[in-house]
Homo-oligomer: A and B are copies of this chain.
Amino acid sequence: MLGRPRRLAILAEGSFNATDAKSAVGVLRYRAEEVVAVIDSARAGRTAQSCAGVGGDVPVVGNLEAAAAFDPDSLLIGIAPQGGSLPSSWRGVVAEALMRGWDVLAGLHTFLADDPELAALAEAKGCRILDVRRPPEGRPIAARRAAGVDALVALTVGSDCNVGKMTAALEIHAFLEKRGVKTAFVATGQTGIFIADRGVAIDAVPADFAAGVVEGLVLEAARDADIVLIEGQGALHHPAYSGVTLALLHGSCPDALILCHQVGRTHLKISDAMPAPRIRSISELVRDYERASGWLHPARVLGVALNTMHLEETEARRALEHEANLTGLTVTDPVRYGAEPLAVALLRRHEERKRRAASA
């Protein structure tokens, strides 16, 4: 089970489509039963499905008052503004939600609870502001402790940001749960935390403690799971986020990696003002991720999750086959075709480790 049940209204004002409202889409894909309405005045009257391709009949409404008719208990900020701050136009919406006694869930770099007015309002109304990006208080220093757990630790890694690392981990998690495997999903970014209702936004942790925080999450998750799936972040080849990626890799000491890539993406997404680096081939990425893991704890890429959302059926099939032939690895699109091949690869690896441990 991921978290406790909630009744969410999602703010996605002006941006409720498949690509711009990342958090809204993620929550709708994995927790649709908890979403009572999406707020986007530009799309009011439609269904979530028709706007973003997920969420079925969840209604899109024009404002907070209209959302109130569906009796939510929380407002979730489902879009990420440029720069991480709260646009002033949204501030009134947050205040209105608090006035109604709803909790507010936000993943901004600017913490809503640090706003004295909003904090006072929350206190007066007895509701909570959950800034999921706020780093934990502790200052843990990683020391390769995660390498010692009995569970199989698997991390999703990628060719770039926003290629499907969270989605791959969640799809594998869901498949394993259905199979009755004791499995844990470790959320490391705001959307993952919205979905799992726990986790830490690693990118907001002071750099010295990022690996230590991940290590702590893995140790905790491994206590009650046979397979621990960690949501990856960034990419080793990304100019801005490679440090976050390596902290995750070295903090979690995975045995298994699932490499994620969006078919058709040729260059890393960086500032438009700068020439973007080319994305390497899958084989080169496999090599580099395995090398960087090996600096501390050996990991193997056990499968490739290709995001084929922009391709037609035939092209998608061809892309998977092409990469499978090139790399010799298990390749699938876990959203389109299911996560079974990736989950099975992890299960096999887990059995192998258990056998080896038993015979040692």
Q: Which A172-213 residues have C-beta < 8 A from chain B?
A: 202-208, 210-212
A277 within 8 A of B: yes
Q: Which of B141, B242, B291 contacts A271 (CB 8 A)?
A: B141
Given A244-B243, A251-B239: A139 in contact with B84 (beta carbons within 8 A): yes
How big is chain A's contact interface, by range? 35 or more
Residues of B within 8 A of A2 (CB): none
User: Which one of A142-150, A302-310, A336-344 contacts B?
Assistant: A142-150
A292 within 8 A of B: yes
Q: Which A245-268 residues have C-beta < 8 A from chain B?
A: 245-248, 250-251, 253
Residues of B within 8 A of A292 (CB): 292
Which residue of B is nearest A83, CB measured? B139
Name which of A83, A139, A205, A210 has the most chain B CB atoms within 10 A of its CB: A210
Residues of B within 8 A of A84 (CB): 139
Which residue of B is nearest A275, CB measured? B144
Contact B205 A239 (CB under 8 A): no
A274 within 8 A of B: yes
Q: Given the complex of chains A and B, what is the CA–CA distance between A139 and B253 in angstroms? A: 29
A296 within 8 A of B: yes
Contact B237 A296 (CB under 8 A): yes
Q: Which of B143, B207, B248 contacts A206 (CB 8 A)?
A: B207
A273 within 8 A of B: yes
Q: Which of B205, B244, B270 contacts A143 (CB 8 A)?
A: B270
Contact B295 A288 (CB under 8 A): yes
Contact B211 A203 (CB under 8 A): no
Can you report 25 A-B residue pairs in the complex whose CB atoms are below 8 A from each other? A142-B239, A143-B240, A143-B270, A143-B271, A143-B273, A143-B274, A203-B207, A204-B206, A204-B208, A206-B207, A207-B210, A207-B244, A207-B247, A211-B239, A211-B240, A211-B241, A211-B242, A212-B240, A237-B295, A239-B296, A240-B251, A242-B246, A245-B246, A246-B246, A291-B291
